[in-house]
């Protein structure tokens, strides 16, 4: 039998914002997600508390290549692990320059190191592309990559028996707080996202493991709430998009709107700050505006 451990990466020194999951049995040790390279030392420490070193990890299963999920994958590749990733994400790990540049445009070049650390290319021999629903076996553990676009076109949820590691496709929910949809550019696609939710629900999982943050067992309720907020945010954004409001004005209004929404659901200030770290609301503004723009021009 295997065990699943949540490793808290203490992103930006805050608890329960980004997780990596250690899945191990007597034979294999795998990580689902690595977090960013900026939390590498924290991850090494967490592994040490399980008597493991980075070189003991056989494989890393990535949900997608955004830095908060995959930024430290190259460190495990250097230590010998194979890295499993969606075929559309794979080239960006082999050659991360473009990914880095586009993140730098979003976050600002000067903030990159402090937020995400560094990223180096991964040897293509160690990168393994996933195929939708095609199981990968590690001894007695059977992982099924479930291709789940919507948050990112190259998103994979990982099924292990009745557990699903959902990356960002099941949203962000911290410490029993409400679930919200992270909507960064450039791939947000609400119809695809809802189809991905239906795909996961059809697997009848008993536990979801959210990278931001931890396990969820009230699955029907969780996904219902996620879809509701997704629709609410998208509709809110559509009104501003149609009105042609300036993006910086939208951002200010949206930050106030979503903060109030969390407060109304009983989320206190310190937890609201952690939601903002795991899922900055300004990022969802650009992601959702881009979605409506592409939709209007008939490109999606
Ligand atoms: Zn994320």
Tens of pLDDT, residue by residue over 137-159, are 999 999 999 999 999 999 999 99
CA distance linking residue 250 with residue 245, whole number of Å: 6
Residue 169 Cα to ligand 1 middle (Å): 9
Taking only the tens place, the pLDDT of each residue in 53-86 is 999 999 999 999 999 999 999 999 999 999 999 9
DSSP classification of residue 52: -
66 backbone φψ class: left, alpha, beta (φ>0; ψ -120 to 50): beta
Report residue 193 as tokens. 């996202």
Architecture of domain 3-222: 4-Layer Sandwich (3.60)
How far apart are the CA of 156 and the centre of ligand 1, in A? 12
Residue that the structure tokens 């106030």 belong to: 256
d(CA 2, CA 140): 9
Tokens read off for 293? 């723009």
CA neighbor of 268 nearest in space, from 176, 172, 180? 176
Expressed in angstroms and rounded, the spacing between residue 222 Cα and the centre of ligand 1 is 17
Ligand 1 midpoint to CA 212 (Å)? 7
Contact (Cβ atoms closer than 8 angstroms) between residue 146 and residue 158: yes
Domain residue spans of the chain: 3-222
Q: Rounded to whole angstroms, how far apart are CA atoms 155 and 130?
A: 10
> Do the strands 59-61 and 163-167 form a parallel or antiparallel pair, or are they unpaired?
unpaired
CA–CA distance, 167 with 184 (Å, rounded to integer)? 14
Between the CA of 154 and the centroid of ligand 1 the distance, in Å, is 13
Closest CA relative to residue 197, chosen from 173, 160, 168: 168
CA of 139 to the centre of ligand 1 (A): 29
Ion ligand 1: residues, CB < 5 A? 68, 168
Report the alpha-carbon distance of residue 22 to residue 138 in Å, rounded: 14
d(CA 278, ligand 1 centre) in Å: 7
The pLDDT assigned to 131 comes to: 98
At 196 the pLDDT is 98
Nearest to 52 by CA among 74, 81, 82, 10: 81
**Residue 29 CA to ligand 1 centre (angstroms):** 23
pLDDT for the residue 105: 87
Cα(168) to ligand 1 centroid in Å equals 5
Instruction: Give the separation between CA 258 and CA 255, rounded to whole angstroms.
Output: 5
Give the pLDDT confidence score for residue 106 in this predicted structure.
85
- Are 212 and 18 in contact by the 8 Å Cβ rule? The answer is yes
Kindly list the distances between the CA atom of residue 26 and the CA atoms of 138, 140, 170, in Å, as whole numbers in the listed order.
11, 10, 30
- HSE toward the beta carbon, residue 288, CA cutoff 13 A: 27
Question: How many A from CA of 69 to the centre of ligand 1?
Answer: 6
> CB atoms < 10 A from the CB of 58, how many?
17
**CA 182 / ligand 1 centre spacing (Å):** 7
What distance in Å separates the CA atoms of residue 38 and residue 46, rounded to the nearest whole number? 14
- The CA distance from 158 to 135, in Å, is 10
Residue of 273, 263, 284 whose CA lies nearest to 178: 263
Which residue in 179, 155, 299, 294 sits closest to 232, CA to CA? 179
Residue 43 backbone phi and psi in degrees, to 5: -65, -40
**For residue 148, how far is its CA from the centre of ligand 1 (angstroms)?**
14
Instruction: Name residues of the chain where pLDDT drops below 50.
Output: none
């Amino acid at each position: 039998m295997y065990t699943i451990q949540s490793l808290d990466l203490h992103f930006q020194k805050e608890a329960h914002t980004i997780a990596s999951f250690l899945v191990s049995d007597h034979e294999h040790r795998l990580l689902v997600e690595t977090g960013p390279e900026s939390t590498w030392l924290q991850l090494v420490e967490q592994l040490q508390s399980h008597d493991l070193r980075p070189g003991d990890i056989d494989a890393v299963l990535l949900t997608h290549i955004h830095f908060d999920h995959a930024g430290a994958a190259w460190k495990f590749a250097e230590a010998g692990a194979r890295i499993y990733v969606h075929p559309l994400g794979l080239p960006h790990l082999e050659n991360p320059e473009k990914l880095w540049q586009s993140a730098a445009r979003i976050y600002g070049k000067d903030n990159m190191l402090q937020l995400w650390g560094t990223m180096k290319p991964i040897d293509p021999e160690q990168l393994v592309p996933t195929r939708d629903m095609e199981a990968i076996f590690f001894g007695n553990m059977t992982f099924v990559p479930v291709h789940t676009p919507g948050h990112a076109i190259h998103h994979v949820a990982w099924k292990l028996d009745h557990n699903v590691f959902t990356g960002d496709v099941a949203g962000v929910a911290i410490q029993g707080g409400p679930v919200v949809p992270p909507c960064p550019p450039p791939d947000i696609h609400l119809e695809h996202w809802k189809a991905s939710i239906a795909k996961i629900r059809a697997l009848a999982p008993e536990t979801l493991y959210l990278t931001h943050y931890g396990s969820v067992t009230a699955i029907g309720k969780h996904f219902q709430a996620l879809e509701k907020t997704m629709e609410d945010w998208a509709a809110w954004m559509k009104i501003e998009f149609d009105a042609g409001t300036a993006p910086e004005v939208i951002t200010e209004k949206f930050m106030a709107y979503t903060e109030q929404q969390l407060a109304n659901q009983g989320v206190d200030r310190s937890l609201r700050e952690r939601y903002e770290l795991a899922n900055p609301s300004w990022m969802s503004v650009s992601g959702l505006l881009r979605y409506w723009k592409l939709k209007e021009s008939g490109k999606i």
